[in-house]
Amino acid sequence: MEQRGRQSAGKPVGRRVVLGVLGLGAVGVAFGARIQNGLDNVLAEVSSKDPTGLTGLLPGGGGFQFYNVADSIPHRSDTDYRLTVDGLVDRPATYTLADLKSMQQTRLVRDVQCVTGWRVPNTEFSGVLLRDLLDMAGVQRQGTAIRFTCFDGVYSESLTLDEARRSDVLIAHEMNGAPVTSAHGGPVRLYVAPMYFYKSAKWLSGITVTSQVEPGYWEHYGYDVEAWVGRSNGRDDAPTSN
């Protein structure tokens, strides 16, 4: 992908792609929920045809847009999925999806807010508190930040340790009462409720405790590392409903 100075976090590109998806939206309305099952495949196909590798699209329901900086949707089956916790910890660990599901679950209902302006009210995410995984790993004294990596091989994000330990930061495997779809970053994505949605890394595969914050993917293009909704990226308005 050609890299320009500052790009938009998930800027929709490609008129053909957008029109194609609008068409799909109409079909979705006509056929109701059934079409959702096939949606991931269609999205993957559209995404792989996007020459820029930067696809923005589609309300897959409820006004979500689909963002992926990689050139196709990466897939991991529920059984193949692994999440590693490593870095400055006493007990590095690898979790399966079943492991994560067997742990204490937390459910959050918040507004999803993308830095580009769109918002999806009352979105439910469920999963494990990141704090619990960090406690099990035993963060060492020098550990002050977290780096997140993804199995798309491209995206990354970060949080300070204090942010990571908040009670509204989840390792999520359910969204709106169903498994997180591939398009939305399944089987497991990060969900950082108080921050703009670019912090919520999809296709999460690695949690590494580090000694300092390493800016993530979009932050290299000028977006704030501290991405509080309403108080970052040039905004000073109060968060709307969180």
Contact 169, 191 (CB under 8 A): yes
Beta-bridge partners for 150? 204
Q: Is 201 one of the binding residues for ligand MTE (CB under 6 A)?
A: yes
**What does 66 interact with, of ligand MTE, Mo ion, none (CB < 5 to 8 A by kind)?**
ligand MTE
Touching ligand MTE, residues 113-132 (CB under 6 A): 114
Which stretch, 46-54, 134-142, 146-154, 192-200, contacts Mo ion (CB under 5 A)?
A: 192-200
Binding mask 90-119 for Mo ion (x = CB under 5 A): ------------------------x-----
Q: Which of 7, 9, 174, 181 binds Mo ion (CB under 5 A)?
A: 9
Pairing of strands 169-175, 156-160: unpaired
Touching ligand MTE, residues 125-164 (CB under 6 A): 150, 152, 155
Binding mask 68-107 for ligand MTE (x = CB under 6 A): xx--------------------------------------
Read off the tokens for 140.
Answer: 């060492």
Q: Is 12 one of the binding residues for Mo ion (CB under 5 A)?
A: no
Q: Is 198 one of the binding residues for ligand MTE (CB under 6 A)?
A: yes
Residue 90 or 220: the one with the smaller Cβ distance to ligand MTE is: 220
Q: How far is the CB of 64 from ligand MTE (least distance, A)?
A: 4
Q: How far is the CB of 223 from Mo ion (least distance, A)?
A: 9
Residues forming contacts to ligand MTE in the complex (CB under 6 A) are: 9-10, 64-69, 114, 150, 152, 155, 184-185, 197-198, 200-203
